[in-house]
Each structure stands twice: as structure tokens, then as C-alpha cells.
Amino acid sequence: MKIVLSQLNYTIGDLSGNIQKMANHIEKAKADGADLVVFSELSLCGYIPKDKLNYESFIQRCYNALTELASHTKGIAIVVGMPTRSNLSKGKKLYNSAVFVANGVIESEIHKTLLPTYDVFDEYRYFEPNTNFELVTYKGIKIAITICEDLWNLDDPKLYPTTPMDELKKLNPDLMVNISGSPYSYNHVEERKNRMVDNAKNYKLPLVYVNQIGAHTDILFDGGSMFINQTGEIAEELKYFEEDYRCIDWSKDAVYKDNSLDYKDEDIELIHDALVMGIKDYFGKMGFKKAMLGSSGGIDSAVINALAVEALGAENVLAVLLPSKYSSEGSVVDAEALAKNLGCPYKTISIEDMVSSVEQTLEPHFEGYAPDVTEENIQARSRGLLLMALSNKFGSMVLNTSNKSETAVGYATLYGDMCGGLSAIGDLYKMQVYEMARYINRNGEIIPEAIINKAPSAELRFDQKDSDSLPPYELLDKILSLYIEQQKGWEEIVGEGYDEHTVRRVIKLVDRNEYKRFQAAPILRISNLAFGIGRQMPLVAKYYN
């Protein structure tokens, strides 16, 4: 049996575009003499359409699209993901399904049993879990079809009472097929491969595993679809962050040699490719071409500038230098050198006149008040205002330049440097931003060394350094990671040897700045716990630090 793994980049809600892509792979598969094409989870409508699923008109459009897609399956079979209506008298109205279509006929619907509802997943919001287990038989082969999370209940303690493959194994299948919508995170690359290998070995069955690629706003999908032998070798592993097509000439009991790729957790190349795809897809799927950013001569904007140029092309990225009297000469020179290295257009606009005008306007109202953070924020917000005006006038989108460390502790100005349509490095801690800069320079200097070597500064007053207000980033990032990703309380973190005063101060900053993050731009998610939908905290609360 010839089986095609079809790893595509879908757009949510673009039913006609999605089925066109699938139809192209079906035609290619037919030309290759394939029997079966496997697409990924909710491929028809894009994973995941969120509350569009509550619209009956949207569901009907999915069924219409399925009918159209089925018309392309003469002489071949497909497994396609889509929401289907439940006919039960109780429970949610929809299933998350794998629809098996052969020779133009919708043969069966297999529903997802395990509905992830944690982190960025919220599937029980929409779907009823499956409770009925059956195989699909095609050309004499008995196939156990499951959907993503269904294969993730192997380890103890188990998150779900039911393990779908345990049930399906009783029916004596020949082959496992899993259609996935499994997002990338740098902590997840090896784990996913290991878990899928565990499934093959545990059930002594070969596994066809198909994931999607592409960015759906903040959530990035990396692909890495696989064919795994019943003995656990990864015989085929598809590309990461690229569409891919692989036709496997599979015969029962055959064992193919290990041909897996060698990516590890925290691989900087994958993080880099994830972010470039994230920017590219946000713009491409939104119909935007042009980006701009405030280029300060600091490391964060330099990395964003470089990533944006890779994603969108140098001619489409405008670096805007917005110096003030507090900007060091180096900042301007370094930002210019960066733009020249990247070959992207840049312009310099002093914020001095605007800031003076604001200060004059406010002078009578501020009488008797000493200068404080207000004046610093006026500068940051003046930059934000000028960038947004340029964005409006030129029809280009502003890229936010905040990193995860400063987003965490609120070392950023709401409506100032927090402005922008997309945060590309908002899930990279400061130390990871440095690592990314070095990776960008792997084949020669793109980001000037001066930018990498200078002490981090917001340059909102003379001789300001980040270290005046914050612990050194080497320390800050470690505490943040323990608190945010590992969800440890202050006592536990102090128990690991960190200074109590510092830990409690950092946690207090994180907690007190929920209100800022509530209004932040969407952040490309690359960790297992990014700010955004995957971390939902009360705004109004008393904390215990």
C-alpha cells in the first residue's frame, strides 16, 4: 500500500484555499500510484478556528468543502481532519474528526477521544469526546485512526481515564494513523518523537503521523511528520517549518531503516526558523507585505530587524531610528550599520521636538511635581505614536520589539515600546535573544558586534542601564523561568538557592504587570509556556509573594 504523508500549511477559515492545496497533493499522489493520502488535524478548516466553531454557518461550509474535496478522490482514499456534527441527544454539538473518504465516498468519521484543555489548547470548549472505537478497513488493511492527543496518554500519571489505542488494539489493527495539530515548542521536539516511537513499540504497529506546519497568529506548527516502524525506528521524518510530501511504499511487516533527523530540544536553528515562519505567515495570511520597527541600536530591535528581513525581504522592512537627547551616539551609528548590513531601508526621525512640545503642553499641569517615570514614558509613547503614524501612512505593520524578560517584569511602556501588531521575540528571554543574535551572525557579521556587546539600556535618561532597575539578566531569566515555565512558588525558588529578596521582588513585578500583558501584541510561542492564551492569570487579585 502506497501511503502519502501530506504536510501542508493551512489558513484558518480559508476552506477553498485549503482544499485546493489538498487537491494538489491528491493529484500528485495519484500520479505516484498512491492508495491513501493522510492530511493533518482539522486540515479542512485550519487548526484551530476557535469560536468560529460556534457558528452553524461555518460548520455547514466545512461540510460543503468536504463534498468538494471528496470529488477529487476518484481511485484514491484520504484521511482529512474537520469538525463534524454530533447526532447525540446529550453533549457538545461537535466532534473533532478524521474523515475517511475513498473513491468519492465519505466512508467513515473517526472522532477524537482525548480533548486537550490546558496550555494553548481549549478543545473541550467545542468538542464532545469520542467513546466508540472502530477501525477503518481499506484494501484489506485494518487501520487504527487517532487524532493527536489520542496518542499522548501513555505515561503515568495519565491525564485521561481512557487510552484510545488500548481500545483500538483489541480490534487487531495492521497500521496506526495519527493526524495531528501539534505546535512547536523548543522543549517539545524530542519529546514528540519519543512519544510516537513509544506508541509504535508499545502497540507493535507501524505509525503514520502527520502534522501541519505554519503559524496561526501566535501558535507555530513545525511539521516533522513521521513514518515509524512497528519496531520503533523513525523511517521517514518530514521537514520542519516547510510544507512537505512523502510517498511511502509500505508493506505489512516490513521494517525500514532509521532515517530520522537530528534535531534536539532548544535547537537554535529550529527556534530561528519558527520565528521567521511566524513573521512570514502573520503577514502573508493577513495580506500584509511591509513591516517597520523602531530600531534603537539595541539587541532586541536588531534581532527583530534581521528576522523580519529574512521573513519578508529587506525591501519590505523599514527600520525607523527615533533618537532623543538621551540616545548615545553609538545607538544611532549601530542601528544604521545594522540596516546597511541587512540592506533594508531606514530613516531617522528625532523625537526631540515632539517630546518638548508634549512637555510644554503639560508643564502648567505638572507644576510642583518632580520628573519621574512619566517623562520616560512620554519618550517611549512619542516613539510609538510616530511609528504608528508612519504605519498608517505607508500601510505597513509595526513589529513589536519586546523580549520575554522585560515583558515578564513590565519593563516596557504600554502604548509606547509595547505597540505593534506582532511580538516576534516576546517568548525569548534576554539571554536567548543574545544567542539568537550570535546565530544570525553565524556566517559573518549581520548584527554589529557593538550591539551585542553593549550593556542593555532603555536610554530614557542619561547613563541609564537596565541593571539599574533589574537584576542581571543571567539571574533574572533563571528566576523567571522557574516562576513562569516551572510554576514554582517563591519558597520553592528560594529553596533552590536564590536570594529571597530578589526572588520575591521579581515575582511581584511579574504579578503586578498582568495588566500590561493583557494589552500586549500577540507573541510568537516557542516555549512550553508563553505569555498569551497559554498563560491565563487573573488581573485583579492579591498575590502571595
Of the pair 138, 282, the CB lying nearest its own copies is at: 282
Of the pair 87, 251, the CB lying nearest its own copies is at: 87
Q: For its own copies, which stretch binds (CB under 8 A), given 104-112, 332-340, 456-464, 531-539?
A: 531-539
b/e per residue 172-203 (b: at least 16 CB within 10 A): ebbbbbbbbbbbbbbebbeebbebbbebbbeb
Of the pair 255, 286, the CB lying nearest its own copies is at: 286
Short-list 539, 541, 517, CA closest to 530: 517
Considering the complex, what minimum distance in angstroms separates the CB of residue 310 from its own copies? Answer: 19
Q: Which of 21, 52, 112, 280 is catalytic?
A: 112
Q: For its own copies, which stretch binds (CB under 8 A), given 47-55, 99-107, 448-456, 465-473?
A: 47-55
Of the pair 341, 402, the CB lying nearest its own copies is at: 402
Q: Is 243 exposed, middle or buried (0-12, 13-18, 19+ CB in 10 A)?
A: middle
**Secondary structure, 3-state, 165-230:** HHHHHCCCCCEEEEECCCECCCCCHHHHHHHHHHHHHHHCCCEEEECCEEEECCEEEEECCEEECC
Of the pair 455, 541, the CB lying nearest its own copies is at: 541
Considering the complex, what minimum distance in angstroms separates the CB of residue 62 from its own copies? Answer: 11
Q: Which of 21, 41, 376, 514 is catalytic?
A: 41
Of the pair 505, 516, the CB lying nearest its own copies is at: 516
Q: Rounded CA gap, 346 and 6, in Å?
A: 41
Span 84-123, contacts to its own copies by CB under 8 A: 89-92, 117-118, 122
Q: Which of 140, 161, 444, 497 binds its own copies (CB under 8 A)?
A: 161
Q: Is the peptide bond before 106 cis (omega within 30 degrees of 0)?
A: no
| Residue 137 CB partners (closer than 8 Å, separation 6+) | 143
294 lines the binding site for its own copies (CB under 8 A): no
**485 is annotated as an active-site residue:** no
> Using CB under 8 A as the criterion, what x/- string covers residues 244-283 for binding its own copies?
-------------------------------------xx-
Q: Rounded CA gap, 309 and 399, in Å?
A: 12
Residue type, 504: R
Does residue 91 sit in helix, strand or coil?
A: coil
Q: Which of 45, 62, 148, 419 is catalytic?
A: 148
> Using CB under 8 A as the criterion, what x/- string covers residues 352-391 for binding its own copies?
-xx-xxx-xxx--xx--x--xxx--xx--xx-xxx-xxx-
Count of residues of this chain found to bind its own copies when the rule CB under 8 A is applied: 97
Cell numbers for 428: 525569548
Spatial contact of 22 and 62, defined as CB atoms under 8 Å apart: no
| Residue 100 CB partners (closer than 8 Å, separation 6+) | 77, 78, 79, 106, 107, 108, 109, 110, 136, 138, 145
**30 is annotated as an active-site residue:** no
504 lines the binding site for its own copies (CB under 8 A): no
Q: Rounded CA gap, 308 and 336, in Å?
A: 16
> For residue 486, what are the CA distances in angstroms to 122, 454, 522?
21, 31, 22
61 lines the binding site for its own copies (CB under 8 A): yes
> What pairing do the DSSP bridges indicate for beta strands 105-111 and 207-210?
unpaired
Q: Which of 105, 171, 261, 286 binds its own copies (CB under 8 A)?
A: 286
Q: Which of 20, 33, 55, 134 binds its own copies (CB under 8 A)?
A: 55
Span 213-242, contacts to its own copies by CB under 8 A: 215-217
Considering the complex, what minimum distance in angstroms separates the CB of residue 156 from its own copies? Answer: 7
Q: Which of 193, 272, 285, 430 binds its own copies (CB under 8 A)?
A: 285
487 lines the binding site for its own copies (CB under 8 A): yes
Q: For its own copies, which stretch binds (CB under 8 A), given 133-141, 151-159, 195-203, 236-244?
A: 151-159
Q: Rounded CA gap, 204 and 215, in Å?
A: 34
Span 297-336, contacts to its own copies by CB under 8 A: none
528 lines the binding site for its own copies (CB under 8 A): no
491 lines the binding site for its own copies (CB under 8 A): yes
Q: What are the contacts of 324-328 at 24+ separation with CB within 8 A? A: 324/350, 324/351, 324/352, 324/355, 324/379, 324/459, 325/352, 326/379, 326/459, 326/460, 326/461, 326/462, 326/464, 327/296, 327/297, 327/459, 328/297, 328/457, 328/459
Q: Is the peptide bond before 206 cis (omega within 30 degrees of 0)?
A: no
Span 196-215, contacts to its own copies by CB under 8 A: 215
Spatial contact of 52 and 13, defined as CB atoms under 8 Å apart: yes
Of the pair 25, 216, the CB lying nearest its own copies is at: 216
**344 is annotated as an active-site residue:** no
497 lines the binding site for its own copies (CB under 8 A): no
345 lines the binding site for its own copies (CB under 8 A): no
Cell numbers for 300: 532586541
Q: Rounded CA gap, 537 and 203, in Å?
A: 40
Cell numbers for 203: 502497540
Q: Rounded CA gap, 163 and 173, in Å?
A: 16
Considering the complex, what minimum distance in angstroms separates the CB of residue 257 from its own copies? Answer: 37
Q: Which of 20, 32, 71, 159 binds its own copies (CB under 8 A)?
A: 159
Considering the complex, what minimum distance in angstroms separates the CB of residue 350 from its own copies? Answer: 8
Span 391-410, contacts to its own copies by CB under 8 A: 392-393
Span 431-470, contacts to its own copies by CB under 8 A: none
Active-site residue list = 41, 112, 148
